[in-house]
Amino acid sequence: MAITPSNPGFLSHLLPPGRGWISRLLLALALLTLAPASPPAMAQSIYDGQIEAIESLIQRGKFEVARTQSRALAESGRQQRLNNVEAYGNYLYGRALLEDPASESRDRVAGIEALRRASAGFSDAGLTAKVDSIVAQLREIAARESRSVGRLPLLHEIRPTAPPTVRDGDDEVDESALTAIVALQNREIEALNDSQLRQLLRIQQQDLALDSLRFESLNDSFRLERQEFLLKQQESLTNEERQRRNFFVALALGVMVALALLYLRFRSAQRYQKSIRAAQKRSDELLLNILPRTVAQELKETGRATARRYESVTVVFSDFVGFSHVASRREPEELVEVLDRTFRAFDDIIERHGLEKIKTIGDAYMCVGGVPEEDPDHAAKAVRAALEIQQYLADTGDFQARIGIHTGPVVAGVVGRKKFAFDIWGDTVNQAARLEAAGCPGEVTISKATRQLLDSRFVCERIGTFEAKNMGTLDRYRVLDSRLMKNPS
């Protein structure tokens, strides 16, 4: 086990049982004095405990032991260059002398001197509260000891011609200490006879005057050195402040340049991201014009769109009547413009009714209901959209069209790697085209499968049968009216 003050219980291994506790404390002080220097934080914690122990001894009246330990504490603080620890040692030593009822006059004077040294140490350590406490104690001693003895003149009273000085904290401590010492000496003088008193008083006044002169001289020297130190300190602070100001100016300029560069980079990144978002938006809009939203999303996420079978959809197929004749009477530009306007109107109509455009083939237009999102009302929506298309063509008079509608299963999806196009396949598409060919201009022709999905709000008329490839003869119906035409869902 290392013999250091930080090892608890190390005294019990060094001393045999039965020794006195005073011997143990003295040995602890000796070990503390001879122990190697500890780190500042550990040493401070050790000294804090020692200070509390000495204060406890003073409170219990163990003044002799307290004086011994406080002297050792002051010496340890001096060796460790801990001003506050040395000051505490002097402070506790002064208290042990002053609070001991058995102390003689010279011991009490020594106690006051110890308090003065402690005040100087506390002042250097910045413990102003302790300095004020010492001043209060010295004044209390002076007031207590001079109650029955006339007050001796102070220095400015002995030397009335001396110029008044401004006292700082150290001067106040020195004067309070001097006053307390004089009060103690006055109490000792009180016990003398008249002749001895006068002689001693005369000697004491002379010594006091000499001490005051010496003290004033030392005080002036100290004040001069203090002023020189303050001037040097002020000059150092000025230089330091100038360097700090230059540093902060350079730092501010650097920060401003860095912020400017960051802002320019941020603006550039914003413009770049804005252009990317605009391009992405245009790309998404273009993709949605080509493919349904769900199919486009699947294509973006996986790189392909899986074909899917739908058991019940309604296909709408329209074709213009006499398109070749109409085209021969119009200029190509005018014909394309009219076709574009007409097909745009078709796009708006089927979008309003929730249908999906599949493609245009020359003058033919095909759309479907129930794809790619399944819709139980796809047949009714497809018929209403077809009736509205016929109404639009009747109002504009640009073309006449036959429209065929059939309901059945299809397969829908995207095939190939380039020029994606969403398409549907199956016999249902062919039957819708044959119904369109079997119909009349300006009418909407539907199959029996579609008719069975319509409710009573649709007025339909059976107009006969037609030959469906691979299916034989099938019934066909003509839609005459729908009460929902004027208010589509």
pLDDT above 60: residue 442: yes
Instruction: Return the pLDDT at 164.
Output: 46
22: β partners: none
Q: Are residues 153 and 29 in the same domain?
A: yes
185: Cβ–Cβ under 8 A, 6 or more apart, which residues? 105, 109, 204
Range of the domain at 170: 11-239
Write out the DSSP string of 402-424: EEEEEEEEEEEEE-SSSS--EEE
Q: Are residues 38 and 166 in the same domain?
A: yes
Instruction: Return the pLDDT at 320.
Output: 93
Domain-embedded: residue 147: yes
pLDDT tens string 403-427:
999 999 999 888 777 767 788 999 8
Phi, psi angle pair for 410, to nearest 5°: -145, 165
pLDDT tens string 30-47:
555 554 444 455 556 678
- 123 membership: H or E segment, kind and range: helix 105-125
Q: Are residues 206 and 68 in the same domain?
A: yes
Q: Are residues 45 and 194 in the same domain?
A: yes
Domain-embedded: residue 277: no
223 vs 165: CA distance, rounded Å: 11
- Specify the number of domains making up the chain: 2
Mean pLDDT of the chain: 79
Q: Which of 207, 239, 271 is the last residue of a domain?
A: 239
Domain-embedded: residue 130: yes
* pTM of the predicted protein model: 0.45
Q: Which of 215, 239, 263 is the last residue of a domain?
A: 239
Q: Are residues 217 and 76 in the same domain?
A: yes
HSE toward the beta carbon, residue 10, CA cutoff 13 A: 13
Please confirm whether the linkage preceding 5 is cis (ω < 30° from 0): no
User: Which tokens is 348 given?
Assistant: 């708006």
SS3 446: strand
Domain-embedded: residue 276: no
Tell me what percent of the residues of the chain surpass a pLDDT of 90. Answer: 24
